[in-house]
Amino acid sequence: MDFSATYFAYPFIFLGLYFEVFMLLTFLSDPARRRRYRAVSTETPNVAIIVPCWNEETTIDGTVRSLLALDYPKDKLKIVLVNDGSTDNTKAVMDAYVGNPQITVIHKANGGKHSAINIGIESAGDAEFIGCLDADSFVATDALREIIASFEDPRVASVTPAMSVFEPKSLLERMQNAEYIFGIALRHTLSAVNGIYVTPGPFSFYRKSVLNEIGGFRHAYQAEDMEMALRIQKAGYEIDNAVRARVYTKVPKTVPKLIKQRTRWTTGFLRNVLTDYRGLVGNPKYGVLGLMVLPLGFVAVLGGVSLFGIAFFMIIREIVHVFSLSAGVPLSYSLMPRFSIEWFYAALSFVTVIGFVVTTISIFFMMVGRRVSNTDSGLVIGIIGYVFVYGLIAPFWLIRSIYDVATGVERAWR
């Protein structure tokens, strides 16, 4: 084993474990517990939900139907469908809803998701709260009442939902589902210390008065939801989480599409935080967000790439070493795995044990996320995939993101 290489991994391992322990403590704290047991709202303020849409002919109908099925007074809920210059049959699907008193349909030239949401906000009328829902996502009937309950505190400018994957079938979808459910637990926990840094497209809500104050959505390097969250935080407001407001979203079905999506997310994070929101990083004024979440976001990107690099280097070196030793010894002997109880103990190193601890805490959070959000979804295959496969794919989008940010490359949305 190359000790110098493994030493390089130690700071990342320490910070990963530290963050998880911090999250565990916060999860067990009173503010998090209060959020978990918060009652569903009986208040029904005026709400507008905007559905920005670009080429979503196959999913938009289901999305709208799920919104119409929400348990909320129909005269208090307005749905704004915005067709952002779709080139498929989206327009026709949307036009089928023209005439529905709850629904407003808008067609516009393609200008990006942020422009579609902004036009929707202009059409929101007297809504007190504005929600967004991506056109490939579907909500649970009680989700809106759960969201509204979280706006009770006037300092809360935005509320995020509990996102999971819509009917995950393949291993890749199940892995993403495990990750999303992990995200439910993390977002729920971070909300207790106002540490949320992104208000995701599927069913995040905003207080209209705050949007009026801080302005509408921006292009923000194709990460308008992250930029808005950071702007809300910068303005001194809070972002809460409604852990039982379930929303189900469709996710990439192939590895290249997943890498493309995550590259967009990661470059969006890096570019926003490195430019307009650099002042938040390491700033005690922004509490957990400034001192922990944003700095550790960078650490996660660098750590993911570094750990992958170290592992890759060690594997290649081992292969080269075995080949250099062979000198005529058949390859079948070199490649044949040899196990014994002694080898098992020999593998019990500091890195493997602490890796086991970190993974166990992550799995605990996944199970907690599913439980506190009442998400009805199998997790076993997803967790296995997440633990053993995800780490092999993630470095590719991390490396690509660093490359894109360093060279200024901007890629298309899809």
Can you give the binding site for another protein, defined by CB under 8 A?
Answer: 14, 17-19, 21-22, 25-26, 29, 31, 192-193, 195, 287-288, 291-292, 324-330, 333, 340, 342-343, 345-346, 348-350, 353-354, 357
Which is nearer to another protein, 348 or 406 (by Cβ)?
Answer: 348
Considering beta carbons, is residue 329 or 392 the nearer one to another protein? 329
CA nearest 175: which of 331, 413, 410, 382? 382
Burial (Cβ within 10 Å: 0-12, 13-18, ≥19) of residue 309: middle
CA pair distance 408, 414, nearest whole angstrom: 18
Q: CB nearer to another protein: give 42 or 352.
A: 352
Give the nearest distance from C-beta 322 to another protein in angstroms.
8
* Closer of 5 and 291 to another protein (Cβ): 291
Least spacing, CB of residue 304 vs another protein, in Å: 20
Looking at the Cβ atoms of 313 and 333, the one nearer to another protein is 333
- At closest approach, how far in Å is the CB of 274 from another protein? 24
Q: How far is the CB of 4 from another protein (least distance, A)?
A: 15
- Smallest gap from Cβ 352 to another protein, in A, equals 10
Task: Please state the closest distance from residue 302 (CB atom) to another protein, in A.
Answer: 19
- Longest CA pairwise span in the chain (Å): 81
Judge contact between 400 and 261, C-beta under 8 A: no
**Cβ atoms < 10 Å from Cβ of 347:** 11
Q: Name which of 348 and 380 has its Cβ closer to another protein.
A: 348
Is the CA virtual torsion 143, 145, 151, 152 positive or negative? negative
Please write down the HEC assignment for all residues of 135-202.
CCEEECCCHHHHHHHHHHCCCEEEEEEEEEECCCCCHHHHHHHHHHHHHHHHHHHHHCCCCCCCCCCC
Residue among 31 and 215 whose Cβ is closer to another protein: 31
Angle at 57 between CA 56 and CA 59, to 5 degrees: 70
**Beta carbon of residue 2, minimum distance to another protein (angstroms, whole number):** 13
Q: CA–CA separation, 214 vs 231, rounded Å?
A: 8
Tell me which residue of 187, 163, 152 sits closest to 27, measured CA to CA.
187
- Tokens representing 216 are 């509408």
CB of 148 to another protein, least distance (A): 25
User: What is the radius of gyration, based on Cα positions, of the chain?
Assistant: 23
CA atoms in the 13 A half-sphere facing the CB of 367: 8
Minimum distance from residue 17 beta carbon to another protein (Å) = 5
Q: Pick the closer one to another protein by CB: 34 or 411.
A: 34
Closest CB to another protein among residues 256, 328: 328
The DSSP symbol for 96 reads T
